[in-house]
Homo-oligomer: A and B are copies of this chain.
Amino acid sequence: MLEFCLVGGGFIGPLHAANIAAHPGARLAWVVDLDHAAANALAAKHGARATNDLDAALADPAVGAVMICTPPRTHAAIIERAARSGKAVFCEKPVDLDMQRVDACARTLASTGTPFFVAFNRRFDPTHRALFDALRAGEIGRPEMLVLSSRDPEISPPDYVAAMPYGIFYDTMIHDFDMVRWLLADEPVEVVARTACMLDAAENPHRDPDTAMVMLTMASGALVHVNSSFRAVYGYDQRIEAFGAKGMLISRNQQPTTLERYGTSGIRRDPLLRFFIERYAESYRRELDDFVRAMGEKRAPSITLDDGRRALLIAEAAVASAKSGKPVPIG
């Protein structure tokens, strides 16, 4: 039984807490949050203890792993404290937006021998995973082109946007950059990016890019396209298409029901699942299971800090290309 100390009880925290509670090999032992009420409520629901003092929780020898669900700027510090306490770390992406800080974390994790997992949850989506398996099995031969559509139903609140300029690369497409590396088992050597502000000023008052296209060239020569928007009114649009010498694989969108409605104006199906919580519900369960199993089997978690670092490198290069207008080499 792996006991977790969950840090950060807001937003994605309750989702992870519920998954820990439901997992046969995991237990939620602590909830750490500066907001006492939030910590208490979440802890009470799952029979855990609440605190606003991370050190108190880290001092509990029963705790085997720290799950970090706090805002990104706090991740690195918590990673380092957890590592020094000898706890394994399950960290929401990104590790940090500052590459030097990421590298410092890497050194701490290495010197302490801390198992570390960065939660690129999409790798555990059943359909994306089936696409990955088909690629690995050689179903379409050598992959030649990859096309990803990655569109949110709406833009984040203005203060969230303000806190992370070029969030369309750092926060959204970073998932796609990880998918590209993982699916192709290949690294990009160049990126060209273009952005636009398509939302009106009321929706996007900071005029941070809300629409973007990226073209990546991989070391193998494979070509990759990614597009993103912060306003897909029909739902959370998440598609991946891999084209190769022997065929094509498409991970299609998902809908809440399979109902078809036939009428004089045509045939209508549901809009897409609305947000990532519903769309990737299963992948959140499976990434936790993978981490718990890795700990039980004494093996390294399947997504490393270096994976987080490399996705961030691509995002940085995409921002540089969007700003300069030029292709930017990577690595």
Count of chain copies: 4
0/1 per residue, A305-331, Cβ < 8 Å to B?
Answer: 000000000000000000001110000
A262 contacts which of B24, B145, B248 (Cβ < 8 Å)? B248
The A133-174 residues at the B interface (CB cut-off 8 A) are 134, 139-140, 142, 144-145, 147, 149, 151
The 27 listed contacts between A and B (C-beta, < 8 Å) are A24-B45, A126-B257, A127-B258, A131-B259, A140-B263, A144-B198, A144-B211, A151-B243, A192-B192, A192-B215, A215-B225, A229-B243, A234-B266, A234-B267, A246-B264, A247-B262, A247-B264, A249-B262, A250-B259, A251-B257, A251-B258, A266-B269, A266-B271, A267-B268, A267-B269, A267-B271, A325-B327
Contacting residues, chain B, for A144 (C-beta < 8 A): 196, 198, 211, 229
- Chain B min CB distance to A116 (Å): 29
Task: Indicate if A206 sits at the interface (CB-CB under 8 A).
Answer: no
Contact (Cβ within 8 A) A192 B263: no
What is the interface size of chain A, counting residues whose CB is below 8 A from a CB of the partner?
68
Contact (Cβ within 8 A) A232 B248: yes
A257 contacts which of B130, B222, B262 (Cβ < 8 Å)? B130
A249 contacts which of B261, B265, B325 (Cβ < 8 Å)? B261
Contact (Cβ within 8 A) B258 A213: no
Contacting residues, chain B, for A265 (C-beta < 8 A): 268, 271
Task: Indicate if A34 sits at the interface (CB-CB under 8 A).
Answer: no
Contacting residues, chain B, for A266 (C-beta < 8 A): 234, 268-271
CA distance A263 to B268 in the complex (A): 10
Contacting residues, chain B, for A251 (C-beta < 8 A): 257-259
Task: Indicate if A297 sits at the interface (CB-CB under 8 A).
Answer: no
